[in-house]
Amino acid sequence: MQKRTLGKSGLEVSALGLGCMGLSFGLGPAMEKSESIKLIRSAVERGVTFFDTAEVYGPFVNEEIVGEALAPFRKDVVIATKFGFEPDPNNDGKWTSLNSRPDHIRQVVEASLKRLQTDTIDLLYQHRVDKITPIEETAGAVKDLIAVGKVKHFGLSEAGAQTIRRAHAVQPVTALQSEYSLFWREPEASVMPTLEELGIGFVPFSPLGKGFLTGKIDASTKFDSTDFRAIVPRFSEENRKANQALVEVITSFAEQKKATPAQIALAWLLAKKPWIVPIPGTTKLSRLEENLGSVTIELTTEDVRTLEETSSAIKVKGERYPATHAKLIDR
């Protein structure tokens, strides 16, 4: 497995990480715990060293699974988790409230350390920007946790350029995690120039467009009630039918390269910048192996240009988040 360094931080990880959310939360029924642990350990055996989880995935359950799965390999892997949500007392206890106050961060970190069975968190992200708590206070709280050894690196998720700059001035930001793929290229204009300027790594989540770019989802696909995609506008039946044209472009390109659409989508991200580390998630070993195959696919500058020109000609239909989730995105 090739390695990459997230920006100027010195944090070295496998070129492809594993997003663990879908093992227990958000993308349909949860896997059996034993099967989740088996999949994570299979990723380790194949050279993956970068694993992504969060307090809110479950909630709590995902961190416990990741902690147990990686305990035997702890010195050889990098674990990223997140703070920033809490139950909303006005919404049946759903985790829709944001809280990045320093006291809350300290409480979350103590609990996460126990669930992850570790004494330090390698990369701690603010899950969503809390517009009530100044980002300087949040960054300062993480800086204090780094000083005492409970956290090693600070990250942000779905943060805008100005927030990144303000946070970075207090505590250097190692990585930004946001959605980025051939299905959603907005970060190229909004944040990537800032990341490059400041030497911050980029960790794209949903690098396969929440599975759409694999070619395994079409207008006839039925989503389980526990699958987040069931309420995402971009995944309505009508929009899936319209957006199929993008998948066809990627599939055609993949056939020329004797690869799968998923592998091309990931290889494209890897070719964009050396400080980009995608974290595709999966519940299947076969998909894990398919995704890891993207690391050996080298796209030339001409390949990237051709892929971008042909895919950009197709206007993707539908918003990427429902309104309730969209309002949590920092601009």
By annotation, the residues acting in catalysis are 57
- Write the DSSP symbol of residue 182: T
Q: Which candidate, 305, 280, 311, 312, places its Cα nearest to that of 295? A: 280
- d(CA 37, CA 124) in angstroms, rounded, equals 22
Helix (H) / strand (E) containing 164: helix 161-170
> Which residues have C-beta within 8 Å of that of residue 318, sequence separation ≥ 6?
232, 233, 234, 235, 236, 239, 243
Q: Is the Cβ–Cβ distance between 92 and 131 less than 8 Å?
A: no
- d(CA 176, CA 201) in angstroms, rounded, equals 6
The tokens 């999966």 sit on which residue?
282
DSSP of 7-22: TTS--EEESS-EE-GG
Half-sphere exposure of 31 (CA within 13 A, CB side): 21
The tokens for 238 are 């009508």
- Write the DSSP symbol of residue 1: -
> Which residues have C-beta within 8 Å of that of residue 193, sequence separation ≥ 6?
161
The tokens 């093992």 sit on which residue?
23
β-partners of residue 323 are: none
β-partners of residue 97 are: 86
> Which residues have C-beta within 8 Å of that of residue 166, sequence separation ≥ 6?
135, 136, 139
The tokens 């147990």 sit on which residue?
68
β-partners of residue 176 are: 156, 202
